[in-house]
Amino acid sequence: MRLFFHEVRAQQRLFWRNREAAFFTFFLPVIFFLIFGAVYGNDYIKKEHVKGSHFLEAGMIGYGVAATCFAGLAISMVVRREAGILKRVRATPLPPLAYVGAVLASTFVVFLIEAAIIILIGRFLFSVGVPNRLLSLLAVLVLGAVCFAAMGLGITGLVRSSEGSSAVINAVYLPMAIISGTFFTPKNYPGFLKAIANVLPLTHFTKLTRDVMLHDAHFWADGSAIAVVALWGAIGLVGAIRGFTWQPRSA
């Protein structure tokens, strides 16, 4: 346990010091919330029956989970792997699972802060109420963080070099974020995009978040959405178990 907290502290330090990564994975969802909130926050989105800012708040938390727990985690783990840092850590008595656990815990802390900032901006700039069911919201965030982090670790096995990591991972998560309707409602999308959106985990994570935040739904209200997110998490986990390595791939 002492080792675990020792490592979480170090991981926090490493995250915040890496300004570029912190910008893309932590601040960008916040900045997009401000920009798009200013653009269409006051419009009423008929198809969703909500105001733009209400819609966007849950969407940016969804975008945040993809940016922080999936893309940010995956890129930093590939970079560390290729720099030989993961390999070096394996030579120490720190249990491998304690290391991975600490990285995940640290990522979750970052995501929670991000979600809290988004909710506060919603409250004070766009007069979106703070959600009533905070425990259900926390449960949804944990579910999303765990599943997207599993996918993030899973995709590291498909990336062979540091240089390729942001290209590959951005190519996956940016289209996913847009198709999943984190920025705009997918209800206006053409049929084939809707079909894709329907199988993507981010669509369902964002729906769960939106239901809890806007409609006071319980965490467990939409079992099928939970199942889709969890299924993707399981696929990520299998990918991680098979493809995650501690030693550089390109060496």
Partner 1 sequence: MSAVRVRGLRKRYGTHEAVRGIDFDIRAGEVFGLLGPNGAGKTTTVEILEGYRDRDGGEVEVLGEDPQRAGGPWRERVGVVLQSSSLYPLLTVRESLRLFGGYYARPRDAAEVIEIVGLGEKADDYVRTLSGGQKRRLDLGLALVGNPELIFLDEPTTGFDPGARRTAWETIRNLRSLGTTILLTTHYLDEAEQLADRVAVLRDGEIVREGSPAELTGGSGETEIRYRLNGDDVVERTADPTLRLNELTGAALARGERLEGLEVRRPTLEEIYLELTGE
- Tell me the three state secondary structure of residue 251: coil
Residue type, 139: A
Q: Would you give the DSSP letter of residue 131?
A: P
Which residue number, 47 or 88, has a Cβ lying nearer to partner 1?
88
Closest separation between CB of residue 249 and partner 1, Å? Answer: 14
Binding to partner 1 by residue 172, rule CB under 8 A? no
Report yes or no: 45 and 51 within 8 Å, Cβ to Cβ.
yes
Residues 76-95 contacting partner 1, CB under 8 A: 80, 83-85, 87-88, 90-95
Binding to partner 1 by residue 18, rule CB under 8 A? yes
Closest separation between CB of residue 88 and partner 1, Å? Answer: 4
Print burial letters for 138-156: b (CB count within 10 Å at least 16), e (below 16): ebbbebbbbbbbbbbbbbb
Report yes or no: 201 and 148 within 8 Å, Cβ to Cβ.
yes
Binding to partner 1 by residue 245, rule CB under 8 A? no
Report yes or no: 12 and 107 within 8 Å, Cβ to Cβ.
no
Which residue number, 10 or 31, has a Cβ lying nearer to partner 1?
10
- Rule CB under 8 A: choose which of 12, 14, 101, 189 binds partner 1: 14
Report yes or no: 66 and 177 within 8 Å, Cβ to Cβ.
yes
Binding to partner 1 by residue 10, rule CB under 8 A? yes
Q: Would you give the DSSP letter of residue 51?
A: E
Binding to partner 1 by residue 30, rule CB under 8 A? no
Closest separation between CB of residue 161 and partner 1, Å? Answer: 15
Query: Where does this chain bind partner 1 (CB under 8 A)?
Result: 3, 6, 10, 13-14, 17-18, 80, 83-85, 87-88, 90-95, 247, 251
